[in-house]
Chains A and B, each alone.
Chain A
Amino acid sequence: MKRRRPARPSTMKDAATHYCQGCGHSVIHRLTAEVIEELGIADRAVGVPPAGCAVLAYFYFDVDMIEAPHGRACAVATGIKRANPESIVFSYQGDGDLAAIGTAEAVHSANRSENITVIFVNNAVYGMTGGQMAPTTLLGQRTTTSPAAAGREAHREGYPIKVSELLASLEGSTYIERCAVNSVRAIRRTKKAIREAFLTQMNGEGFSMVEILSPCPTNWKMSPVKSWKWIDEVMTPYFPLGVIKDSRKGSKKDAG
């Protein structure tokens, strides 16, 4: 029997992505696009892609988008949402973008409880620039800028930053969940989390973020299959999955 390809959501353009084999971005794009379609918000959605591998997201998402300077997606999203509160605004950011150069913008957007949604793709490495150490690079992980045999070491390069927990500690953040895209089950869970995050915004309940542990086989120098395993074996012990914070009042019932 011929397997049918699932139909492309109307919120995605008919384009082949530039992403590497086994990269998590295409899956995360699709999940986000599906949620936007299913929630019926395509005509209100404005996406803010970052500087990074996902900068070309506007070639794939069929919704309004505006590029942000590196790290400033939360500030740009804030401006869009404040100027036009009817829009549903999401930023799509990598770990370097959100957790290094854009830390201040992320922290303060969360603290102000900006009514925006952040899709935070954590692949523990700077992808586009060729595999340098990211703020979320794990201890012991070797990158082009943590090249020691022992990889990243705390005494020299500090610790990988747990952005979800950091933002969850702020009074203003509303919904924060950490997911992964390294199995069918995990992918389904991620879609649910993205849905919850957008619902949080639609209900006007403030800052929502989904952190997604995502494979980067190219820069991890692994096969896609091995990179899936690496998420389970190395990433999730340090970055535990699950709802990190849910202080919603109205939309909790929508879960599941």
Chain B
Amino acid sequence: MTVDVLAADTTIGNPVANIGIFALFVAITLYIVIRASKKNTTAAEFFTAGRAFTGPQNGIAISGDYLSAASFLGIAGAIAVYGYDGFLYSIGFLVAWLVALLLVAELLRNAGKFTMADVLSFRLKQRPVRIAAATTTLAVCLFYLLAQMAGAGGLVALLLNVKGAVGQAVVIAVVGVLMIVYVLVGGMKGTTWVQIIKAALLIGGAALMTVMVLAKFGVNFSEMLGAAQSAVSGSADKAVAKRDVLAPGAQYGASLTSQINFISLALALVLGTAGLPHVLMRFYTVPTAKEARRSVVWAIALIGAFYLFTLALGYGAAALVGPDTILAAPGAQNSAAPLLAFELGGVVLLGVISAVAFATILAVVAGLTITAATSFAHDIYASVLKSHQVTEDEQVRVSRITVVVLGIFAIGLGILASGQNIAFLVALAFAVAAAANLPTILYSLYWSRFNTRGALWSMYGGLVSTIVLIVFSPAVSGAKTAMLPHADFAWFPLANPGIVSIPLAFILGIVGTLTSADRGDPEINAEFEVRALTGVGAEKAVAAH
């Protein structure tokens, strides 16, 4: 194995510069958050930023919420090391937005108030459906949050040269505390601004690097691909050297099991996005369904452009940095994009990209936390525990406490999970969203016969089957790369359970509905459909008053 001097005993670049640029980002965003959130008193202000963001602003924020560190560092790294197979991820993440655009966003905006559960419980039995929807919301947020926080530990090792467990724990705690401050002070408005600024930096930074990397190859994409392939073929590691990085199969082609596993992942990616609660909640921050549509259009344009950039960055990193250097660096394939930044623009560009990576974790974690806290305060506390007998101010108070509790919880879990193999947690979050949320959302919006039993069977069936299959999969035990490598209780062969749990949840929704005589109240069903399609009685923006 080639041991690069840069990678062996120091981090790349200058940790002080990395921290400095990140501190600058924190200072600027905190200033904006405090300014933007003078008026955060009502529930609509705190949970939905007064529904006053424009479509384009919300679209940028959505891309800031969606493009996590996993998509930035993970996908660029996977393309650099495995080539084409890394590209397959980004396509699933992008195409998924068509589900949100065509089937979900506008009707959801028209029919809901703060959370996904508002829509799902509109014409079904309030209590059980709200509890189920809040449970799946919290589960998705928790898995996603855990992945982000644990990933922060790896990023710290790579970018700040903090390798000890204590040092990493301190940095994870700092990220967690910052997140709590942003959400408490800024509410949804502050969180949204953090996401907008982060998205602009992330996409701008990726665009800049793409231009620089293509310039190195005379703006000839084909030549860059050739250079990437020859760099990989020249690897000292024989298993790496024999990869054809320009065609699929390097990561998933080994056996039928891994091929089916890949299809299962692809299914969860394409159907999961429109069931992610923190994405759905963003549709309530705009004044109308038409603005929700514009948000998704902007998000699709930005996310699509970003994934095209990662394609150039990944192959560029393979060609210019080389797979051996990348794999030997701390953080292995996740270090591809930072190493490329250093190669292209030295300490300054690396500092910017590192700061963007931290900002990414911060913004995504903030979005997840406010979603989970809103769902807890609005769905569980107000609607279920207190049977709607609480004021909206009280809901805001409860959700603020929830933010602090969740933040501390996330810091603790992040420290415990640091260094664990947590990549599967993001895939798990998508699988739960696709199985537990999407079927019920679609049935509620488009199938008037759908009833409470169908919703409960589908949501709990999707949630439980996904988690059970993951627990007994090679992601958790029985493999070298598993979370518990020394135990072996795996009997389910796939690390991605979606191919079983998603169809199961769709079927349970149908079977549950048809075996129950409950047809709902025709007047309420009519009200729901008319509201969803026309926007009659939809929640208005607060800013106009």
> Is B truly associated with A?
no
